[in-house]
């Protein structure tokens, strides 16, 4: 049978189209198999293993006090949700029966919530670990239990300003303020990840190949803070604020030989377990006033002025000046706090009676260049370098600054017109207590990274596993600010000032070296007519200081004077700390030294 030309044309056209299609398909297969093979394999792997890895959160490092008392640690809270769409009727009834008591919800209410075709419904959030684990063990179809890390502070508000806090576990689990922020990278560790084989809906398969990288947990911190000392300081500070009707206050306790911070407290304070509530009412409470609050120190600053005068050779303790009750510096008249002349006085009297006129005369005799050079050597106007977030440098104007005036030389000499932080003032006086050697203050003395999770007493380091990595934070010397002779001379002068003028700071059995301060509070146009900042800084035993204590009381109402308000707080704290740290009274130490010098009897 002959094929018509029309049919033949159709066959040829069809063959051509099929041939072209085959050629295109072959070319496309060649492109996929050769040119784009690697990209497609990677895409297939991503689809097979899951588009995104599941990140595994590491355990955040714990924080302990100096003796191993727990101050901050991670625990777990749970969220419970349901997927009614995937639940059968009996599943919903079972869930309502078994969960009502654990969730604190009515059974019928739960039945109504689970009755529907919703893909996801939250049932409860932030459940305690016991409840969450109990619900998870029930293994109810359609009920999902998800764990989240949660930061807990077992001691509540104790040392809150030192610690800081960690934000919501669902918002990044990031440290804020204190050591939680300063050491965030150290504490948080490194996240792990899990890439698992997934089904067509993207759910991880319980079996099958996958990639797992374990998390690296954060390192633990051991602080220089001693829990009992911190408790004493916080209790006495609150008592002082309450009794004086003050707005607040700050106390800092430092070991002068090392710079280790034994206690640091601000009032009012907060509980880091409930930081969210504080954020809504008064977020200012989060800042650590010891490192962030700048204030004019007043007469405690005269310790620095006299140290500078003695070190520069301008004065000695026996040098005298004539105090007429007023002095003009740079066109400004400076008066004593009592507005009285005191005649011819020596330098110990200038310090003890806290004479502004005498301090200003010392600064004028030194000249601005020498005076400010010495003040800067004590660290004023710059950061102390403490390992707590939020430290501020204070304010120290000097010649050459556009807002410095010649009169500032006189007012700065007695702590007016200069701003410091409580920590700066404490560190400066600690340098005098430490024979003129300025130490960097620090609050973390040990960082521990270990493979196991078992707690180990820091006093028994030899028991730690060989795989544990321990980094001890060593005391750091900043510089020698004054000579040993100058420091010891000033200590004798400060001791005489306490014995003769500030007896409320005395501690039975111990010589105390110290200085009180009463600072006016600057307001627009001058200073507030009645409000003051009352303070006292001192150390004991005077001849071998165990610790330096600064007490600052803001706007006391019962009395404006540091010698009346802050000095007794110093004494109460010191009396308890010498017992806590087993510091022998002066007469006991003298007997021990005398026996060591005599030596054993020779027969």
Q: Does domain 227-440+475-590 have CATH number 3.40.710.10?
A: yes
- Weakest-pLDDT range from 83-92, 234-243, 377-386, 514-523: 83-92
Cα separation, 153 vs 189, in Å, equals 19
Q: What is the pTM of this model?
A: 0.83
Question: For all residues of the chain together, what is the average pLDDT?
Answer: 85
Q: How confident is the model at residue 400 (pLDDT cuts 50, 70, 90)?
A: confident
Q: Is the pLDDT of residue 75 over 70?
A: yes
Q: What are the pLDDT digits (tens) for 520-531? A: 999 888 889 899
Q: Is the pLDDT of residue 509 over 80?
A: yes
User: Which residues on neighbouring strands pair with residue 536, listed in sequence order?
Assistant: 516, 551
Chain position carrying tokens 């009297």:
349
User: Could you tell me the two tokens for 517?
Assistant: 């301060």
What does the longest C-alpha to C-alpha distance in the chain come to? 146
Q: 494: Cβ–Cβ under 8 A, 6 or more apart, which residues? A: 303, 351, 432, 513, 514, 515, 538, 542
Q: Is the pLDDT of residue 452 over 70?
A: no
Helices (H) and strands (E) in the chain, counts: 21, 23
- How far lies 374's CA from each of 258, 307, 316, 537, in Å? 22, 9, 16, 20
Class of domain 55-199+207-223: alpha beta
Mean pLDDT computed over 559-572: 96
Domain ranges across the chain: 55-199+207-223, 227-440+475-590
């Amino acid at each position: 049978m002959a094929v018509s030309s029309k049919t033949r044309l159709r066959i040829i056209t069809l063959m051509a189209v099929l041939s072209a299609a085959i050629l295109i398909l072959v070319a496309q297969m060649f492109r996929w198999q050769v040119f784009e093979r690697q990209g497609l394999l990677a895409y297939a792997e991503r689809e097979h293993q899951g588009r995104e890895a599941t990140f595994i959160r590491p355990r955040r490092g714990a924080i302990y006090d100096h003796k191993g008392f727990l101050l901050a640690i991670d625990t777990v809270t749970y969220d419970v949700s349901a997927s009614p769409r995937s639940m059968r009727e009996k599943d919903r009834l079972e869930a309502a029966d078994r969960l009502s008591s654990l969730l604190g919800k009515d059974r019928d209410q739960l039945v109504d919530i689970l009755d529907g075709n919703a893909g996801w419904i939250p049932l409860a959030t932030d459940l305690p670990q016991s409840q969450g684990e109990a619900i998870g063990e029930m293994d109810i179809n359609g009920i999902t239990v998800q764990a989240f890390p949660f930061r807990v502070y077992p001691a509540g508000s104790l040392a809150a300003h030192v610690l800081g806090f960690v934000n919501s576990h669902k918002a990044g689990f990031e440290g804020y303020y204190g050591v939680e922020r300063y050491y965030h990278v150290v504490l948080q560790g490194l996240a792990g990840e899990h890439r698992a084989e997934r089904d067509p809906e993207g759910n991880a398969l319980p079996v099958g190949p996958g990639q797992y990288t374990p998390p690296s947990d954060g390192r633990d911190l051991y602080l220089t803070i001693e829990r009992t000392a911190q408790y004493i300081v916080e209790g006495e500070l609150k008592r002082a604020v309450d009794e004086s009707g003050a707005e607040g206050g700050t106390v800092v306790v430092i070991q002068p030989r090392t710079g280790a911070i034994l206690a640091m407290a601000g009032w009012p304070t907060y509980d880091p377990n409930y930081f969210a509530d504080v954020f809504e009412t008064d977020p200012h409470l989060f800042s650590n006033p010891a490192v962030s609050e700048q204030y004019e120190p007043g007469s405690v600053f005269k310790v620095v002025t006299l140290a500078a005068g003695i070190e520069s050779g301008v004065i000695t303790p026996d040098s005298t000046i004539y105090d007429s009750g007023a002095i003009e510096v740079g066109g400004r008249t400076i008066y004593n706090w009592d507005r009285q002349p005191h005649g011819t006085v020596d330098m110990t009297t200038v310090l003890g009676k806290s004479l502004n006129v005498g301090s200003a005369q010392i600064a004028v005799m030194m000249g601005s260049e020498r005076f400010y050079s010495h003040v800067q050597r004590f660290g004023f106007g710059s950061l102390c370098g403490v390992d707590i977030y939020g430290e501020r440098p204070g304010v120290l104007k000097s010649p050459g600054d556009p807002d410095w005036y010649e009169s500032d030389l006189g007012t700065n000499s007695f702590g007016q017109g200069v701003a410091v932080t409580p920590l700066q003032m404490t560190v400066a006086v600690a340098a005098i207590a430490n024979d003129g050697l300025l130490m960097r203050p620090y609050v973390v003395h040990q960082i521990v990274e270990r493979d196991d999770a078992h707690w180990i007493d820091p006093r028994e380091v030899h028991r730690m596993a060989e795989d544990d990595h321990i980094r001890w934070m060593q005391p750091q010397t900043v510089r020698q600010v004054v000579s040993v002779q100058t420091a010891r001379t000033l200590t004798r002068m400060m001791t005489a000032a306490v014995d003769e003028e500030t007896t409320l700071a005395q501690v039975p059995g111990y010589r105390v070296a110290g200085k009180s301060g009463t600072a006016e509070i600057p307001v627009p146009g001058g200073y507030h007519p009645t409000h003051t900042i009352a303070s006292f800084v001192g150390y004991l035993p005077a001849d071998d200081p165990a610790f330096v204590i600064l007490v600052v009381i803001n706007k006391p109402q019962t009395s404006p004077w540091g010698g009346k308000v802050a000095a007794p707080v110093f004494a109460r704290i010191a009396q308890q700390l010498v017992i806590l740290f087993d510091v022998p009274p002066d007469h006991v130490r003298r007997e021990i030294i005398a026996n060591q010098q005599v030596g054993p009897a020779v027969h």
